[in-house]
Structures are given as structure tokens and as C-alpha cells.
Amino acid sequence: MKIYYKVHAMPIQINPNMFHEPFAQNNDTPLKAKVLTHEEREEVLAAKPEVSIKGDLFTYGGVDFKKLSKEELQNEKIDSTKLNLTQSFTTQESKDKRVVIAFRDPQNPSEVIAYKLDREIVSELQKSFSKEDFFQRDDGILRLNGAAEEYIAGWVLDIKQNRGYDEADANNDGIIGADEKGDLKVGFTQKSDYGYLAKEVVHANTRLEATYTKLSELDPNDQTQALYSKQTLTFQNSVEKELAHTLKLDKDKDGTVTLEEGLKDFTPPEADVATAFLAQVQTDHNVWIKKLRLQLDANMLQTRELLPEELEEKLNEEKKENN
């Protein structure tokens, strides 16, 4: 992690390596500290706080299909009665207007499978890939090809295998029930810290430490509403719905859902994730100061680890007992 400060005169000599030390065990003890001169302090406070949100949550599976020719697409036989398409839908409309997309099964490329996606999602896909990757069949099915087919098939493979939807669906009914979701591998863990000068947060950081963790292996006491300690995104109860959710998160359609893209699940549509993250860290910092009645040195640049509230309270109690 590197810390940069924009200056307009003499550069401030603050060694970024001072923030690379291991996290402190006690949340009340700064990880590292540096006393700044008055000029350095003013420059730091004048700079815009930097936010770093690092790590990839999900990555689509490796799928390599031979691109089909137009003639092959035209002559391809697809029995729509065997596609096992869902009949239920979530819109308030009286008719299901979703688009049926078909592509080769990443687990068995000799077979074609299909799912239904909202028209808005399909439209985004068509803007992101070549128009040659979409073949409209006479039976109404939109057959994917080329990079678009590999992209969708790759996400389905990730959802079924890496996120454990196939394994979790014990009764094989296509729906992940309440008693089955514990086997889904959609959990993750973060490490988060921030730098501060007295009451002002000057930078905030979080990074992924583990991904594809089973929900049953997560500590429910570590799960809070804070962006910096989220352990799961919102997730859906079927492959089809989770595919739609994933496509919405992967805005740039690069086959990776980053932590920052994933945290969008918990911010308003018009809000910027980095801005929301920084605001939450500043709020946490203010609460921490008030709760412990701290008197902080206005010239001391320090770093603090962000921990779930329950763990922080436990550490604070241990400190009181030791004193």
C-alpha cells in the first residue's frame, strides 16, 4: 500500500513504509505514528483523503469454446422443451418479458443450456461485445457465440463450482433453501485501516484477505453493517438469479467482480463507493474518540485498524482489566 500526498511547494517526506507494519493486536494502539511539523500537517489536511479498496471477489471460470460460424448457428438444433427454463419471474408485469439466452454448457460443452435475463442486462451485454456474438433464432432464443458466450458460460461455471451452488443444492431442485445456503462459498474477509490526524481521517484502506469462503465458516459476530467489515454481498437463491446479479456488478464486463464493485450492493445507486467508505470510516473514528474520551495529538499522524464492533469492545475490556 502506498500513501501519496499532493503538494504545491516543498514535498513532505513521509515514508509510506511506516504503514506496512503488521496490524496491532489492540485497537487502541496506533500501528505507526509520525510527528509532523506545522507545515507538513497543513499540507496533509489540505490534500483530498485517499481511499484504497483492493481485491477481486469473484472471477469467471476459464472457458474456451471454438467460435461457431453463421451456418453452424443457423443449422443448430435446440429443443426448447429440454432447456428447463424457469417459469417464475419477479416483475409486476402480467407477462414474462425476459430474454432467453442460450450457450454451451461450460461443464459439458456438447450440450446447450439457457437462462432468462432481463432485457436491460442483455442490452448491456450487447453494448459490451461484438454484434456478431449474438444470433437471434427464429424460435425467439438469443444464441450467444464468441467472447459473449465464453463470458456468460464462465460466470455460470464460477457460480456453480467456485461459489458452490451445485454442491449446496442438496435436493437438486434448482433453489438454494435456507438449510442449504451455509454451503455456498460466497463469503470473504477484509483487513481495513485508516490514517488520522486528531479528528481528521486522511486516508482509508481495505483489502481482501480471503474469498470463496463457505457461509457456515464465517463468524456471525464479525458481520456488521460497516462497508469495511462486510463478509458477504447480497446473494441470490438460484444460479439464474445469481448470474443476473453478477452481471449487474461486473460493470466493465471484464470477468471480475472487484471488492469495490461488490460493495456497491450496500450503497445507494447514486452514491460513490469510495466516498461512502470514507464517510463511514470518519463516522467510526468520531465514535471511537467520543466513546473512549480520547485527547489526540493534533500533529501526530497515526494509523488504526478497523475492527467489528463486538471485537473492538472485547479488546477494550481486556485493556481495562490489564490496567
Helix, strand, coil % over all residues of the chain, rounded to 5:
35, 20, 40
33 within a domain of the structure (yes/no): yes
Q: What is the pLDDT of residues 217-237, one digit of tens each?
A: 987 655 567 899 899 999 999
Average pLDDT, stretch 48-68?
Answer: 95
Sign of the C-alpha dihedral computed for residues 319, 231, 268 and 151 taken in this order? positive
Single out the residue of 314, 316, 308 nearest to residue 284, CA to CA. Answer: 308
The lowest-confidence range among 9-18, 89-98, 213-222 is 9-18
Average pLDDT, stretch 1-25?
Answer: 36
Q: What is the pLDDT of residues 194-204, one digit of tens each?
A: 999 999 999 99
Regarding whether 290 and 205 lie in a shared domain, the answer is yes
Instruction: Say how many domains are in the chain.
Output: 2
Q: What is the pLDDT of residue 8?
A: 34
Question: What band does 82 get if pLDDT is binned at 50, 70 and 90?
Answer: confident
5 within a domain of the structure (yes/no): no
6 within a domain of the structure (yes/no): no
4 within a domain of the structure (yes/no): no
119 within a domain of the structure (yes/no): yes
C-alpha dist (Å) from residue 7 to 11, 51, 220, 274: 6, 18, 44, 22
Regarding whether 135 and 35 lie in a shared domain, the answer is no
Q: What is the pLDDT of residue 323?
A: 53
Regarding whether 250 and 191 lie in a shared domain, the answer is yes
Residue predicted with more confidence, 96 or 243? 243
Q: What is the pLDDT of residues 275-302, one digit of tens each?
A: 999 999 999 999 999 999 999 999 999 9
Q: What is the pLDDT of residue 10?
A: 33
Regarding whether 48 and 75 lie in a shared domain, the answer is no
d(CA 145, CA 137): 12
315 within a domain of the structure (yes/no): yes
Across the chain, what does the average pLDDT equal? 85
Q: What is the pLDDT of residue 27?
A: 45
The pTM is what? 0.82
71 within a domain of the structure (yes/no): yes
Regarding whether 227 and 125 lie in a shared domain, the answer is no
Of 138, 168, 198, which marks where a domain is finished? Answer: 168
67 within a domain of the structure (yes/no): yes
Q: What is the pLDDT of residue 4?
A: 38
Backbone angle region of 183, left / alpha / beta, with phi > 0 → left and psi within -120 to 50 → alpha: alpha
Q: What is the pLDDT of residues 246-265, one digit of tens each?
A: 999 999 999 999 999 999 99
Q: What is the pLDDT of residue 1?
A: 37
Q: What is the pLDDT of residues 14-49, one digit of tens each?
A: 443 333 333 333 444 445 789 999 999 999 999 999
pLDDT tops 90 at residue 84: no
Domain residue limits at 257: 16-58+184-322
